[in-house]
């Protein structure tokens, strides 16, 4: 950020309200607003009333999904500088301060001090078509989970006395199947109607192991992959980066996947990684080398997920379909030359 920040704002977001702490010129002010459109507008007016300037005011809040995104969008659209940060960072910062109180107002103060101390990067609002796609993808997953629950119930309803209940559950499954199919068509049509989404989807589907369902989740949850500075940054967002635990001579824990990232997106990449492990030649060769070196199977799959994330970034960032020759390591790299 080039502009000098003269005020920081911490917002503790909950379902119904926003606890706000404004730190300006060494003084703090607090106020509570409703977490709805009128409350968001009132928050903006309150900041202006306290002589906050959009270019020199930094607003910070935790990422809480459906609760934080509306207020973040409202403030960003109004021109305020907004950061939406991982709650784990705020928790660590609060622990470093030895914070003893746990209230909404205290949490808002921690957010404001975190913002002033670390100057987190600004949040980029996802495009409207990406937000719509994400809503549909989330709804599709809910319906699939409901279908699986009902199928599990059908398996438990064997006796004749449960025939009426079983028929009712089967009818519900049939209705869910119709809704799932219709929603999948809506998602495909939505992607086809937006040139950038359609182009990215075609690039992603060129990767062996990545199907239409995974493509929709990638586009919905990661948005425009080009916004990440590197493949490593994308892997950090997903949570597929390796996590090492070594200290002195006594701590020699095995390297594990960090899992600090987007849980739904990481879950979406698991099955495609299993498929790529067997049918994507460059990734298969990569996984075979790790297995030959003695890495356990679960560790190999974790490394494959990390590799697949890099391939996804490379395909989207280059604008070229997947090329196994480019993904395969050179002979000198394989031989350690």
User: Quick one: pLDDT at residue 335?
Assistant: 42
Which helix (DSSP H) or strand (DSSP E) does residue 159 occupy?
Answer: none
- Residue 25 pLDDT > 90: no
Name the band, by pLDDT with cuts 50, 70 and 90, for residue 26. Answer: confident
**pLDDT(315) > 70:** yes
For 154-178, the pLDDT digits (tens) are 888 876 678 888 899 999 999 999 9
Confidence (pLDDT) at 184: 96
Query: Residue 333 has what pLDDT?
Result: 44
**What whole-number distance in Å separates Cα of residue 33 and Cα of residue 42?**
7
Whether residue 2 is predicted with pLDDT greater than 70 in this model: the reply is no
pLDDT of residue 254: 57
d(CA 262, CA 91): 17
Q: Which residues of 142-155 are buried (b: 16+ CB within 10 A; e: fewer)?
A: ebeeebeebeebbe
With bands split at pLDDT 50, 70 and 90, how would you rate the model's confidence at 256? low
> Which of the four pLDDT bands, split at 50, 70 and 90, describes residue 329?
low
* 8: its two tokens: 């920081």
Q: Render pLDDT for 94-122 as a digit per residue (tens, 0 to 9).
A: 999 887 778 989 999 999 999 999 999 99
C-alpha of 23 from chain center: 29
Helix (H, G, I), strand (E, B) or coil at 13: strand
pLDDT tens sequence across 112-154: 999 999 999 999 888 999 999 999 999 999 999 999 999 999 8
Instruction: Look at residue 179 and tell me whether its pLDDT is greater than 60.
Output: yes
% of the chain beyond a pLDDT of 70: 89
As a whole number, mean pLDDT of residues 31-50 equals 95
Residue whose entry in the numeric block shows the structure tokens 């629950």:
149
pLDDT exceeds 80 at position 334: no
What average pLDDT does this structure show over 58-84?
92
pLDDT of 280 > 50? The answer is: yes
On whether the 7-118 domain is CATH 3.30.365.10, my answer is no
pLDDT band for 262, please (50, 70, 90 cuts): confident
Query: According to the model, what pLDDT value does residue 251 have?
Result: 45
Share of the chain above pLDDT 90, in %: 69
pLDDT score of 242:
67
Q: 232: helix, coil or strand?
A: helix
Average pLDDT over residues 84-96: 90
How confident is residue 263, by pLDDT bands cut at 50, 70 and 90?
Answer: confident
**In the chain, what are the domain boundaries?**
7-118, 130-193, 214-334
Q: Can you tell me which residue has the tokens 């997947």? A: 322
pTM higher than 0.85 = no
Q: Quick one: 187 exposed, middle or buried, by C-beta within 10 A (0-12, 13-18, 19+)? A: buried
**Whether the Cβ atoms of residue 231 and residue 221 lie closer than 8 Å to each other:** no
Average pLDDT in the chain: 88
Calpha distance 78→72 (Å, rounded): 10
pLDDT of residue 147: 96
């Amino acid at each position: 950020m080039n502009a000098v920040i003269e005020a920081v704002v911490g917002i503790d977001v909950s379902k119904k309200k926003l606890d706000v702490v404004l730190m300006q010129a060494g003084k703090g002010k607090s106020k509570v607003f409703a977490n709805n459109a009128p409350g968001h507008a009132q928050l903006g007016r309150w900041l202006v009333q306290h002589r906050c300037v959009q270019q020199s005011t930094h607003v910070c809040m935790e990422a809480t999904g459906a609760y934080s995104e509306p207020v973040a969008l409202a403030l960003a659209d109004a021109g305020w500088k907004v950061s939406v940060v991982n709650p784990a960072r705020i928790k660590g910062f609060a622990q470093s301060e030895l914070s003893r109180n746990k209230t909404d107002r205290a949490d808002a103060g921690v957010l404001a001090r975190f913002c002033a101390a670390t100057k987190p990067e600004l949040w980029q609002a996802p495009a409207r078509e990406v937000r719509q796609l994400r809503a549909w993808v989330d709804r599709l997953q809910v319906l699939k989970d409901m279908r699986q629950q009902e199928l599990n119930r059908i398996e438990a309803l064997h006796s004749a006395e449960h025939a009426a209940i079983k028929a009712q559950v089967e009818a519900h499954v049939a209705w869910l199947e119709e809704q799932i199919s219709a929603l999948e068509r809506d998602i495909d049509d939505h992607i086809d109607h937006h040139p950038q989404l359609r182009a990215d989807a075609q690039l992603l589907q060129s990767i062996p192991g990545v199907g239409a369902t995974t493509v929709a989740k990638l586009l919905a949850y990661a948005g425009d992959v080009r916004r990440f500075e590197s493949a490593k940054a994308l892997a950090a967002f997903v949570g597929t980066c390796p996590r090492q635990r070594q200290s002195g001579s006594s701590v020699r824990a095995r390297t594990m996947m960090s899992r600090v990232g987007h849980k739904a997106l990481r879950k979406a990449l698991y099955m495609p990684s299993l498929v790529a492990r067997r049918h994507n030649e460059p990734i298969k060769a990569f996984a075979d080398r790790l297995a030959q070196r003695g890495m356990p199977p679960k560790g190999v799959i974790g490394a494959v997920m990390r590799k697949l994330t890099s391939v996804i970034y490379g395909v989207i960032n280059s604008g070229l379909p997947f090329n196994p020759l480019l993904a395969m390591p050179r002979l000198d790299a394989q031989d350690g030359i």
